[in-house]
Amino acid sequence: MKEREITALETALGYNFRSRALIGQALTHSSQAREQESQQAGESKYRVSDNEQMEFLGDAALALVTAEELFQRFPQFREGELSKLRAHLVSERHLICVAQKLELGHYLRLGRGEEKSGGRSKTALLVDALEAILAAIYLDGGLEAARQVILGKIVTPELERMDREGETLPLTDFKSALQETLQSLGMPQPSYVLVQEAGPEHSKTFTVEARLNSKDGASGAEFVGRAEGSTKKTAEQDAARQLLAYLAAQPKPAGTRPGERIARG
């Protein structure tokens, strides 16, 4: 691998390797390693390292850093919600997008057969290489270095994208969860009120209140959740989340568990 290619990849990752051997191994597919071994002769044969074991370590580092970030960022989430969000962030479907943005296919070291079969664009090979690179960063610079790359390239950009597109809580619908919870408690459904709309057309901010109506029909809301978002949908979901948190904190009547249906499939 040429020095200028390593430099270009380091720039894309935002990390400079002290050990060129580690990044080289992370990009070496088993087909290339076995091909190099087959070309050796006599007693001078030696095993050529590939990225298979590094994938294992990188996958573990990715899972740990992602779980820690979600735990700290979303203290109000239940275990099921955290697990679903982590599963999305470490999924092949998401990681292939990251690998493609980094143009990892350009840097892969492949055997001739894998090269001919289009290995540089194969999802499995690209995702494996991404995980191996994370392992290389961990081995080269420690967990903090790996954390910075994982958050900067994999976790944070996707969370921000979901927020922009009204997917603040992927795989979780707080409005529906709130509706079900209120039904189970025999309480009236909430009112969602747009209380403010600000900013230019291309970058508006919406402020929404979710008002929890009293069970006895008394005037005035029992509790009001207020949230801002780049879309009304985002703001409504966050306001609904606040109502769910409020209900979950209330004394639980016998036989009921307020908020027990927050996590959805």
Residue 172, both tokens: 């979780």
Q: Are 36 and 114 in contact (CB under 8 A)?
A: no
CB atoms within 10 A of CB 263: 17
Q: By three-state DSSP, how is residue 210 classified?
A: strand
Q: Please pick, among 59, 140, 158, 236, the residue that the annotation labels catalytic.
A: 59
Residue 109, both tokens: 């070291």
Residue 87, both tokens: 């599963």
- What residues does 225 pair with on adjacent strands? 210
Burial group, residue 197, by CB count within 10 angstroms (0-12, 13-18, 19+): exposed
Using CA atoms, how far residue 262 sits from 96, 158, 171, in Å, is: 30, 22, 11
In terms of Cα–Cα distance, which of 127, 1, 142, 140 is closest to 55? 127
Q: Please pick, among 50, 55, 69, 131, the residue that the annotation labels catalytic.
A: 131
Answer yes or no: 59 catalytic: yes
Q: How far apart are CA 134 and CA 14, in angstroms?
A: 12
Answer yes or no: 131 catalytic: yes
Which positions are annotated as active-site residues? 59, 131
